[in-house]
Structure 1
Amino acid sequence: MQHNYCGQSCSVVKCWQWNIKRFIMFQTNKTIQDKYAVLILNRPISQNPDFVKSFWNNASVRMAVDGGTARWDTFLNQLPEDVQKTMKLPDFVTGDFDSLTEDVLNKYKKKGTKTIRTPDQNNTDFTKALMELNKHCQQENLQLDHVIAVCQNSGRLDHILANIQTLHLVKVDNLLNPNTTVYILSDDSISWLLSPGDHVISVPEETRQHRRAWCSLVPIGTPCESVTTSGLKWNLDNQELKFGELVSTSNTFDGSEFVKIKCSHVILWSMRVPHLISE
């Protein structure tokens, strides 16, 4: 019997319960109980400003990663002046700073943001930011439930793949506490890795009822020899997911409140969250 992060339990050895509503607010006046960190990567911030404001200010830790600092600064400057004053500063700005001007870096230094230069070229700025976040959590005895990287799955393909690589390194290299999950938030979608075992994913009503809802299960790094699902329009029954053969992209939901997935190997789960951007 293993308890999962959301406080419920499952009757199998390896079982995870997932509920993104615990950290993505569907009502801006709702208090979030879970502790999470937000990382802004170097892509335009496309999400609804009302969502971003509450999501950012409710975070336990706020980080801007290299050029993501300029992206945050641009987003901030587009807000009304009175709203800008309500926005919390980044706790950290990290990176090798090859994508960030000295002007923007010094602007946040002067405001009190801690800046950490991470020159190592063997890891991406995203990976190094997680390393610095882990140091901070250990020093402050802070246990995070989630880390959400705000980016876009567009632009350079190698950057997109590098972000997925970072998700793997979190587990392989123990970059964070094992009870902390890292998510990628891109436009109106969210993605994270599912480890081998059983998963129960709570699907928000607005997602499963949306006319253009979608989800996907993609094997990353190695084939997933066996996947069984329920709650999808096109379910899998002990089938292999493998590049060159079957990959479950552009799937969707059957209207059920939960999607259940049993997988033999790691897969990347993604789903649409319509309220994140304005239609």
Structure 2
Amino acid sequence: MSTSSAWKWRPIDADKIAHFSYGNYAIAVLNTPIRIPPPVLTRLWNGASIRSTIDGGTDRWLEFVKTEAIDASPKFPDIVSGDFDSIQQSTLALCKENGSEVVPTPDQDFTDFEKGLRALTARCNLRLDSIVVIAELGGRIDQTISCLNTLRIGVELPGSPRIYLLSRSCMTWWLSRGSHEITIPRYLKERQEWCAILPFEPKADNSVTTTGLKWDLDGGTIKFGGLISSSNTYDKDDKSNLVKLRTDAELIWSMGLVWE
């Protein structure tokens, strides 16, 4: 498989468990439960170039800071955005008092998630390599699908930052058509953590080829109503620590995580 022009993905530190390599990144918190271990999320929050909470995610974040007694610096987000139908008004006022920029995004043709990403990048003076979105996938299937759909918006934002959904169980991102190399930490391979390749666009016939997986794909089609590569894992005998993937359809990649 030729990967001379492959997209390179290495968002997880190869050696340190629960450490990430997002480059220059922003962080955004959605209105879902926060279940990432407090020390990890504190490190991610403090290391971000710009911090955003989206609507009721603001209440979630400030409650997390209070309940877990974490050392968040700064405690308040740089940006609070949304149509403000789920945030407590007292929380919104408190954020204003503590220097957060409040950005109303009332347009109902788009989700708060998408509008929040646009508001964030419009106000960031630095080029972002990545945006890390804290969101627990599950519960309402419509909201889960909506979150996955929004992953593609990165190609439309200034600098085309990579957007990662980060939850307690997994990290998920969008793959464009073309070739990709995903670096897999050895500890995930040894523990045979799960990974998945899921369809994104409604393309009836596509070709997906991989190496580095326990159950590789050899030009097969990934689509709803057909094959979906769920509950896959990694080839423990492969020494490259790479999953190489070539696709002529847009896909979703998701991978299980461990925290200790």
TM-score by length of structure 1 reads: 0.85
Q: Counterpart of 1:56?
A: 45
Q: Counterpart of 2:4?
A: 11
Deviations 1:30-85 (A, max 9, x none): 9x6820000000001100111011010000110000010011011001133xx446
Q: Counterpart of 2:62?
A: 73
CA contact (8 A) 2:14 2:186 kept: no
The answer for unaligned runs of 5 or more in structure 2 is: none
Q: 1:273 aligns with which of 239, 250, 257?
A: 257
SS in 1 for 2:139: coil
Q: 2:101 aligns with which of 87, 93, 114?
A: 114
Q: 1:190 aligns with which of 171, 179, 189?
A: 171
The answer for unaligned runs of 5 or more in structure 1 is: 1-9
Distance 1:85 1:225, change over 3 A: closer
Q: 2:245 aligns with which of 239, 242, 261?
A: 261
Percent of aligned pairs with the same amino acid: 36
Within a 5 Å distance, the mapping from 1:210-229 to structure 2 comes to 210-211=191-192, 213-223=193-203, 225-229=206-210
For residues 195 and 222 of structure 1, what CA distance do their matches in structure 2 show?
14
| Counterpart AA for 1:205 | R
| Alpha-carbon offset, residue 175 of structure 1 | 2.9
For residues 206 and 39 of structure 1, what CA distance do their matches in structure 2 show?
27
For residues 60 and 73 of structure 1, what CA distance do their matches in structure 2 show?
19
Relative contact order higher in (CA < 8 Å, ≥ 6 apart): 2
**Cα RMSD for the two superposed structures:** 2.1
Q: Structure 1 stretch 58-67 or stretch 187-196: which is displaced more?
A: 187-196
- The answer to whether 1:177 aligns with 2:159 is yes
SS in 1 for 2:113: helix
Within a 5 Å distance, the mapping from 1:116-265 to structure 2 comes to 116-137=103-124, 140=125, 142-171=126-155, 174-178=156-160, 180-211=161-192, 213-223=193-203, 225-255=206-236, 256=238, 257-265=241-249
Deviations 1:185-223 (A, max 9, x none): 122200111111111100012221225x10000111223
SS in 1 for 2:12: helix
| Counterpart AA for 2:65 | L
CA contact (8 A) 1:25 1:51 kept: no
| Alpha-carbon offset, residue 155 of structure 1 | 1.6
Aligned residue pairs total 254
For residues 171 and 94 of structure 2, what CA distance do their matches in structure 1 show?
31
